[in-house]
Amino acid sequence: MSYTVKEMFLTLQGEGLQAGMRAVFLRFAGCNLWSGREEDRATAECTFCDTDFVGMDGDGGGRFADAEALADRVLALWGEPEAGGTRLVVITGGEPMLQLDAECLAALKARGFRIAIETNGTIPVIEGVDWICVSPKAGTKVVQREGDELKMVWPQPGLDVSEIEGWNFRHWLVQPMDGANAMAAHEAAIRFVLDHPRWRLGLQTHKLLGLP
């Protein structure tokens, strides 16, 4: 199959337990919870998304004819740094599981990449992904209830925290919701972690550092 990519670039992972790691960031176009058009935001299943995932006009974006072509581009972006470390590709969206398939996974692994995914959890993640980060959205049916990292954007009315805590994740993060009420969201997230010690605060460090 062909793949529609919004953007792809070399950077440092900005969020979660892997923050600060060198990574190729691969953002697939499209999402199953919002069209990406502002006129549809109010009626979307996810109304607070801060990401542009529409089209193929981002840095490194485009349509790739097959998994080999896509993986070759990821490898070219990684380049030839000094020895040491692990090749890491972070696959996101939109919703990456609309496009990520076994062929893409195999092509990336054949080039030595460790594969991380950031998903809303409404579509099962395929076998072979090395790091699964799920960010649940209130009002949606999350089927991917196990993984490495649960990233809960907060505050998010309608999320059942007690239900989420019954899922099978190794790390539990609360990330303040960005936007017009960011300061209040930071305060709410801090209060949440103080009241729920199994969780830890996660920040979008790439925004603090001016990284894409």
- Active site positions, annotated: 25, 31, 46, 49-51, 118, 206
**Given the DSSP bridges, would you call strands 3-12 and 200-201 parallel, antiparallel or unpaired?**
unpaired
Residue 100: name the closest of 30, 10, 170, 152 by CA: 30
Q: Which long-range contacts link 40-45 to residues 24+ away (Cβ below 8 Å)?
A: 45/137, 45/139, 45/140
Q: What is the mean pLDDT of residues 147-163?
A: 96
Q: Give me the pLDDT at residue 61, please.
A: 98
End-to-end CA distance of the chain: 28
Q: Which domains are present in the chain?
A: 3-209 (3.20.20.70)
CA distances in angstroms from 88 to 101, 103, 138, 173, listed in the order given:
17, 18, 30, 21
Name the band, by pLDDT with cuts 50, 70 and 90, for residue 208. confident
Name the band, by pLDDT with cuts 50, 70 and 90, for residue 50. confident
Say whether pLDDT at 83 is over 80: no
Q: Give me the pLDDT at residue 36, please.
A: 95
Q: Give me the pLDDT at residue 210, please.
A: 78
Name the band, by pLDDT with cuts 50, 70 and 90, for residue 75. very high
Range scoring the smallest mean pLDDT among 28-32, 53-57, 113-117, 180-184: 180-184
The residue among 193 and 179 whose pLDDT is bigger is 193
